[in-house]
Amino acid sequence: MGSFAFSKSFGVLCLVTLLMVSILHLVSGIGANWGTQSTHNLPPEIVVKMLKDNGFQKVKLFDADYDTLKALGNSGIEVMVGIPNDMLTTLGSLKAAEKWVSKNVSVHLSHNNVNIRYVAVGNEPFLETYNGSYLRTTFPALQNVQTALVKAGHGNQVKVTVPLNADVYESASSLPSGGDFRADIHNFVIQIVKFLSDNGCPFTINIYPFISLYMDSNFPVEYAFFDGNATPLNDGGIIYTNMFDANHDTLVWALKKNGFGNLPIIVGEIGWPTDGDRNANLQLAQRFNQGFMAHISEGKGTPMRPGPVDAYLFSLIDEDAKSIQPGNFERHWGIFAYDGRPKYSLNLGTTNSGSLVPASNVKYLERKWCVLKPDAKLDDPQIAPSVSYACARADCTSLGYGTSCGGLDARGNVSYAFNSYYQINNQLDVACKFSGLGTITKSDPSTPSCKFGITIEPYYGGAEQKFVYTRLLLSLILLLWTIL
């Protein structure tokens, strides 16, 4: 009787353990995009610790910075290394591709123990706004990088892929089942799809419900989220209550129609920004990202592609030097602020606390700010050019309608612009002159909704070293500008 009881208890324990492992597998496989287009990047070691503390198992990079990759060594984190679009032409040469693989993959696999699993050849190279600039250079680069990986003996561990924007496919019927690749690039995409399929590589797609809402004022807002509040879309009996599933399955149908229905899919980027637009705020970002995590944690996948979803949140950290051509929100995609502080509550299902863990050992500059002098007059003719100068060289994307600092008065707007420029330039005294309009204060000018930042200590390691002389030159230019 005792033996039976033990066997029964042991069996129950094993079952519970298996269930826990299964649940953890489903909710903990989330990845993050780690971009570095910032004026002040956190040291890579701090970011890697933050990734580990938050249970991220995968990270997607946009380049192959040596220090970044070295810091990921021995972390166990799966890495997708990136090749920027401006390198695609160069990698049309097999010799150049072999050199790139040797320097950016082989070295890190053999010497730094970096768990590189993918090489992203280009970043959304077929984006409509590029007007076909990379249509003829992407595939040759993809072929050559794959050949170089195999030649170096990495073919089984490291796979190539091409992260593409969801605008590469469309549906004539507005239903997922009508999905196919855009007619104008159909042959280019199929060429890549076939190559990926032949070589056991995944198709990587970036899906952004926020962009749909941003581009179309008539877009049904609830359809962007996962709460089930949207008017359902019926596609031949298959019901869609959120845009992610419908968009994802439009791709599945496009692949299926062209004979590649079983090609693995990675969601390379998905997220919601927190500032820079009326629909970009903390509340909606938290709602979207938490909803997405809950949606994929069940492991059900989408109607046309059941099973766990392989996805990378966009993004890990804000990047204040990103291009704002798509919109001011581009600098605010992070679930963490530039200094590694969590912006809002988000349960990734990977930590004991059920919340985000901030970066540790972050070093800041002094608690001081640059603001408009109290006695300065708003009709001073130097105000407008000074603000324009500051915003063109710093980050004023939190100013404007519907943004976090949209409620500031005129003096507040000027001070915000001045301070942004001052902080980006490492609190140099000369960066707060502005023709005598600026003054340095130790009294925090922030409001409940608008934070006037203090920057972190500059990191000059690795690729950052090349900016040292640029910053010194900038300081001289600043000095000359204020004198003249």
pLDDT tens figures, 140-160: 999 999 999 999 999 999 999
Which pLDDT belongs to residue 14? 40
Which pLDDT belongs to residue 32? 98
pTM: 0.90
* Whether the predicted pLDDT of 25 surpasses 70: no
Which pLDDT belongs to residue 351? 83
Place of tokens 């692949």: 255
Which residue in 78, 98, 269, 330 is the catalytic one? Answer: 269
Identify the CA nearest to 476 among candidates 424, 431, 416, 443: 431
Q: What are phi and psi of 327, to 5 degrees?
A: 160, 160
Please state, in angstroms and rounded to a whole number, the distance separating the CA atoms of residues 344 and 274.
Answer: 10
Which pLDDT belongs to residue 279? 96
* Whether the predicted pLDDT of 3 surpasses 90: no
* Whether the predicted pLDDT of 227 surpasses 90: yes
Q: What are phi and psi of 301, to 5 degrees?
A: 70, -145
List the Cα angle 122/123/125 in 5-degree steps. 75
Active site residue 124: yes
Please state, in angstroms and rounded to a whole number, the distance separating the CA atoms of residues 429 and 443.
Answer: 16
List the Cα angle 137/138/141 in 5-degree steps. 85
Yes or no: say if 89 and 127 are a contact pair by the CB < 8 Å rule. no
Please state, in angstroms and rounded to a whole number, the distance separating the CA atoms of residues 172 and 181.
Answer: 11
299 Rama sector, left if φ>0, alpha if ψ -120 to 50, beta otherwise? left
* Alpha helices by DSSP H, 54-175: 66-71, 94-101, 107-110, 138-151
Identify the CA nearest to 341 among candidates 365, 368, 316: 316
What's the chain's length in residues? 484
Structure tokens at 30: 């989330």
197 burial (CB, 10 Å; 0-12 / 13-18 / 19+) is: middle
User: Own/partner pairs for 364-368, CB < 8 Å, 24+ apart?
Assistant: 364/339, 364/454, 364/455, 364/456, 364/457, 365/423, 365/426, 365/427, 365/454, 365/455, 365/456, 365/457, 366/427, 366/454, 367/442, 367/444, 367/454, 368/427, 368/440, 368/441, 368/442, 368/454
Which residue in 45, 78, 98, 124 is the catalytic one? Answer: 124
Find the mean pLDDT for residues 293-318.
Answer: 95
| Confidence bin at 462 (pLDDT 50/70/90) | low
| Confidence bin at 477 (pLDDT 50/70/90) | low
Q: What are phi and psi of 59, to 5 degrees?
A: -140, 140
Instruction: Give per-residue pLDDT as tens, 329-385.
Output: 999 999 999 999 999 999 999 888 889 999 999 999 999 999 999 999 999 999 999
Instruction: Give per-residue pLDDT as tens, 185-218.
Output: 999 999 999 999 999 999 999 999 999 999 998 9
Identify the CA nearest to 241 among candidates 296, 188, 302, 183: 302
Largest CA distance in the chain: 95
Chain mean pLDDT for the chain: 91
* Alpha helices by DSSP H, 44-163: 44-53, 66-71, 94-101, 107-110, 138-151
Cα 393 → chain centroid: 22
Specify the DSSP element, H or E, that contains 307: none
Yes or no: say if 454 and 423 are a contact pair by the CB < 8 Å rule. yes
Residue 380's CB is within 10 A of a number of other CB atoms, namely 15
Please state, in angstroms and rounded to a whole number, the distance separating the CA atoms of residues 128 and 165.
Answer: 9
Active site residue 269: yes
Please state, in angstroms and rounded to a whole number, the distance separating the CA atoms of residues 73 and 27.
Answer: 24
Structure tokens at 18: 């298996």
Identify the CA nearest to 116 among candidates 106, 126, 125, 124: 106
